[in-house]
Amino acid sequence: MTTEILANYVNGSFVKSVATETLPVRDPATTEMLTRVPLSAKAEVDAAVQAAAVAFRDWRRTPAGERIQPLFKLKALVEQHRDRLATTITRECGKTYVESDAEIQRAIENIETACGAPIMMQGVTNEDIARGIDEHMVRQPLGVVAAITPFNFPLMVPLWFLPYAVAAGNCFILKPSEKVPMSMMALMELVGQAGFPKGVIQIVNGARDVVDALLDHPEVRAVSFVGSTPVARYIYSRATANGKRAQCQGGAKNPVIVMPDADMETTTRIVADSAYGCAGQRCLAASVGITVGGARNEFLERIADAATSRKTGYGLDKSTQMGPVITTDSRERIEKLIALGEREGAKVVVDGRARKVSGYEDGNFVFPTILDGVPHDSELSRTEIFGPVLSLMHANTIEEAIALVNDRAFGNAASIFTTSGAAARQFRYEVASGNVGINLGVPAPMAYFPFSGWRQSFFGDLHAQGAHGFEFYTETKVVIERWPKEWSRKF
Ligand code: NAD
């Protein structure tokens, strides 16, 4: 058992926290303690903000073409250390090695996209808005910005923000999830080698106190958040009440419509990968299947087979297809929700409760689960499970199915499986969701598209990634100028 306590990364160095309280970081497959994370104090947030404010003075004056050079180096270093980073993600988060590696790929793509900063920072100019008067709009960085991130993508989600923030000329402070702080601490070693000036990228570990100190700090200009909806709402309210920009991505419960004309073999494989990939702990995971008309029986039969045959186990074992859920609390919560569904009238067709993985008996495993006939008005139907549980419902027509999709609080993702172009078009046109999949189970936008959650899945205006990232992290300044010739000195 380790007694090591993680440091913070402040002003270019790993700094021991003054925290008196720490939390264990556990391997979800074994519940073994990997390290301890400090619950840093407000003064430590203040020190990081001060260092960022000092670094900002020069970083904002550094040309965008120079600012992206350490990002190119960081990309190369992440590729070089990919195996170590993927192993760290799996150890602290539980997902399979292949899933961790895929997460790193997505993180790299965000670094690459942010390297377009010299173009993305361009403004606009109109000559002669009146005779002899020109008007320009330029983009300037905000200053010190912060991000607060969840447990399910320890490396990728922080990189939805970090590269854009710094490429745009800001100084960035991260409060990673206290459940999975190790991956980003490993990345900080590479940040140090990549040549970022000290104070440009920093980490303060901790939980709510660190978050509140960031939300209340007058020097922090913008806050990015990803996590559950109640916390997203809280952070959005407090940050904006304090005059900050905020973009807060919340929870999800993503529906998938299966039409009777869908290719059932492909559909089942893709829906199973979506529902059970990362043990259902993906904000774009399919969690509700709505079969239409004659799709019901065949889909149920096939998805039950796919769920039963999925190999659950330790994420670093090559044959494992699905890892554990993050904590023992999480496992218990998911099992209680399955029981709630049962009480509310659903049938547990495949039951993943109380199952053990040989050699990992203490692990937080919930096996793939299917609940059939979940009533639309039930509590379970409205509650985010965030585990490997697929709830099935039935509709007679596509209109009924779309109505079921749209009558929900969340709007992170929705998909349809069909071979009909007309059904696909009707769905994409009418569905009230920000990320839409057609014959796709995880409609994750590429780094150069916004991650477009809607409704209770997002609070704010500008989303993460791509052009939205640059918009969020810059302020526009409009300059109108007049230079009459007759004022010119004669030489
Ligand atoms: P969480 O909301 O519990 O925690 C997220 C972050 O907020 C962590 O850093 C945590 O320390 C902090 N936090 C938690 N409670 C807080 C409080 N009361 N005050 C201030 N800060 C607090 O989320 P999680 O369990 O880490 O992650 C899972 C959730 O994230 C799910 O709801 C999932 O849908 C969501 N998620 C959403 C997206 C998206 O793109 N919309 C992406 C990934 C995850």
Could you identify the atom of ligand 1 that is nearest to the CA of residue 457?
41
CATH class of 8-250+457-478: alpha beta
Neighbours of 62 (CB within 10 A): 14
Of 42, 92, 151, 442, best ligand 1 pocket probe by most atoms within 8 Å of the beta carbon: 151
Q: Determine if ligand 1 sits within 6 Å of the CB of residue 208.
A: yes
**β-sheet bridge partners, residue 413:** 435
Report helix, strand or coil for 145. strand
Could you identify the atom of ligand 1 that is nearest to the CA of residue 179?
26
Pairwise CA distance, residues 313 & 431, whole Å:
36
Q: Determine if ligand 1 sits within 6 Å of the CB of residue 184.
A: no
Question: Of 279, 364, 285, 275, nearest to 321 (Cα)?
Answer: 279
Q: Which two tokens stand for residue 471?
A: 């918009």
Domain ranges (residues) in the chain: 8-250+457-478, 254-438
User: CATH number for the 254-438 domain, one of 3.40.309.10, 3.20.20.70, 3.40.50.970, 3.40.50.720?
Assistant: 3.40.309.10
**β-sheet bridge partners, residue 417:** 258
Could you identify the atom of ligand 1 that is nearest to the CA of residue 464?
40
Q: From the CA of 418, how far away is ligand 1's center (Å)?
A: 33
Q: Determine if ligand 1 sits within 6 Å of the CB of residue 228.
A: yes
Q: Determine if ligand 1 sits within 6 Å of the CB of residue 211.
A: yes
Q: What is the pLDDT along the chain (491 residues), one digit of tens a residue?
A: 456 999 999 999 999 999 999 999 999 999 999 999 999 999 999 999 999 999 999 999 999 999 999 999 999 999 999 999 999 999 999 999 999 999 999 999 999 999 999 999 999 999 999 999 999 999 999 999 999 999 999 999 999 999 999 999 999 999 999 999 999 999 999 999 999 999 999 999 999 999 999 999 999 999 999 999 999 999 999 999 999 999 999 999 999 999 999 999 999 999 999 999 999 999 999 999 999 999 999 999 999 999 999 999 999 999 999 999 999 999 999 999 999 999 999 999 999 999 999 999 999 999 999 999 999 999 999 999 999 999 999 999 999 999 999 999 999 999 999 999 999 999 999 999 999 999 999 999 999 999 999 999 999 999 999 999 999 999 999 999 999 988 887 66
